[in-house]
Amino acid sequence: MHPVSQVIARNFPRHDTRERGLWINPEPDDCWRLAADGCRSLHLFCQDHGSFRYLQRSGATTGFGAFPDIAEQRYDWIILNLPRQKALLAMLLDCAATLLGDDGKLWLAGENRAGIKSAGKILETRFGKVRKLDSARHCTLFEASDVFGAAVFDPIEYRDQWLLDIGATRMKITSYPGVFAHGRLDTGTALLLEVLQKLTIEGEVLDFACGAGVIGACIAKTHEHASVTLLDNNALALRASQETLDTNQLSGTVLASHGLSELNGIFDWVISNPPVHAGVKTDSGLSVRLLESVHNHLRPGGHLIMVANIHLPYEKWLQKTFRRCRQLANDTHFKVIGAEL
């Protein structure tokens, strides 16, 4: 069981039995079973598709999406696992405050290294009563109640839209807190887009780990003979990608999958700026693990184009599967690698 789950679980005995409970972004473990014992109706909600699938298979009542349905009902007890980004925490707290019943309590738990210790001050801006319930296993648990004012949550208030110029083409990109490179074009993707402008891309294209949909939307906009699928594990990224396509009147398929585990299609191109973070850790092998089956989704002669940190030896890994692999561009921090199956 994850340390955050352990700290939450050891405080269940001090929690009165409640009618309706909601747990937002729980860890993919069995702690929910213990929570369900103290709640007549417990619903789990995940923005991470991998966690959603794990909890769904374990028998939990769980949903997947960008936000819980605020029109459904109010909850006596809400547990929220601390997200990595402060802007995402603010958004989720405002959502939770809207969902909390008049006498409801919110639990917020997270690892100390993820910033949970400073979260108490953020809670105090939204709740009249805040206290620290527990601190153990390098984690902290807060309880909050008495929401200030009449809480009303509107996701559009947190949406960021910004303009992206690709050659002579201008596009509007939509993003939300928690999406990779929220509100900006990151350096790695910028380098990748420079390469894509020089290529002729046709056929079925997969934008893997699509984030706000920058890569997929640019291909759909500038390569008229390409059909684009945008895939991500993060529900907020999928919502942002769909809105990016819609805003620019572009066609594309938006797909949820943890890595490539739920992908069934075969593509001519897979193009990606893959993630290198697992939680609060930088994991240099994460991209390799996520892409280890990518060749199964490429036609013979198909292309993989990806961004990597300049010092990581992805070429050695790709050469085990792909017949040709070369560096297409680089700067002081990133490189763009092209591989052909």
Domain residue spans of the chain = 3-155, 159-340
What is the pTM assigned to this prediction?
0.94
pLDDT tier at 285 (50, 70, 90 boundaries)?
low
Length of the chain: 341
- The reply to whether 3-155 and 159-340 are identical in fold is yes
Nearest to 220 by CA among 232, 235, 205: 205
User: What is the rounded distance in angstroms from the CA atom of residue 138 to the CA atom of residue 116?
Assistant: 10
Nearest to 295 by CA among 267, 272, 275, 255: 267
Let me know how many helices (H) and strands (E) the chain has, helices first.
10, 18
Query: Does CATH number 3.50.50.60 belong to domain 3-155?
Result: no
User: What is the rounded distance in angstroms from the CA atom of residue 265 to the CA atom of residue 15?
Assistant: 47
User: What is the rounded distance in angstroms from the CA atom of residue 5 to the CA atom of residue 32?
Assistant: 9
- 318 CB-near residues (< 8 Å, 6+ apart): 304, 325, 337, 339
- 281 CB-near residues (< 8 Å, 6+ apart): none
Residue 275: what pLDDT? 80
Q: How far is CA 120 from CA 27, 93, 102, 169, 234, in A?
A: 21, 12, 21, 45, 26
pLDDT, tens only, 134-160: 999 999 999 999 999 877 899 999 999
CATH number assigned to the domain with residue range 159-340, chosen from the 4 options 3.40.50.10260, 3.40.50.150, 3.50.50.60, 3.20.20.70: 3.40.50.150
Residue 163's CB is within 10 A of a number of other CB atoms, namely 9
Q: Residue 87: helix, strand or coil by DSSP? A: helix
Residue 284: what pLDDT? 53
29 has pLDDT over 80: yes
Nearest to 260 by CA among 228, 225, 232, 281: 232
Residue 312: what pLDDT? 87
Higher-scoring residue by pLDDT: 204, 73? 204
Averaged pLDDT of the chain: 92
| Segment holding 208, helix H or strand E | strand 203-208
Q: Residue 20: helix, strand or coil by DSSP? A: strand
As to burial, measured by CB atoms within 10 angstroms (0-12 exposed, 13-18 middle, 19+ buried), residue 117 is: middle
Residue 18: what pLDDT? 78
Of 66-75, 86-95, 234-243, least confident by mean pLDDT is 66-75
DSSP H helices, the chain, are: 3-9, 31-37, 49-57, 86-99, 119-124, 187-196, 214-222, 235-247, 286-291, 314-318
As to burial, measured by CB atoms within 10 angstroms (0-12 exposed, 13-18 middle, 19+ buried), residue 146 is: middle
Q: Tokens representing 214?
A: 């920058």
> What share of the chain in percent tops pLDDT 70?
95
Residue 283: what pLDDT? 47
pLDDT, tens only, 241-271: 999 999 999 999 999 999 998 999 999 999 9
Higher-scoring residue by pLDDT: 278, 210? 210
Residue 282: what pLDDT? 46
Residues 209, 274 contacting (CB under 8 angstroms): yes
Average pLDDT over residues 192-213: 96
Q: Residue 247: helix, strand or coil by DSSP? A: helix
Of 168-177, 271-280, 320-329, least confident by mean pLDDT is 271-280
pLDDT tier at 13 (50, 70, 90 boundaries)?
confident
User: What is the rounded distance in angstroms from the CA atom of residue 302 to the CA atom of residue 270?
Assistant: 8
Of 56-60, 149-153, 322-326, least confident by mean pLDDT is 149-153
- Pairing verdict, β 75-81 and 100-111: parallel
User: What is the rounded distance in angstroms from the CA atom of residue 279 to the CA atom of residue 137?
Assistant: 17
290 has pLDDT over 80: no
User: What is the rounded distance in angstroms from the CA atom of residue 111 to the CA atom of residue 138?
Assistant: 6
Of 2-11, 119-128, 160-169, 233-242, least confident by mean pLDDT is 160-169
281 has pLDDT over 60: no
pLDDT tier at 72 (50, 70, 90 boundaries)?
low
Higher-scoring residue by pLDDT: 18, 165? 165
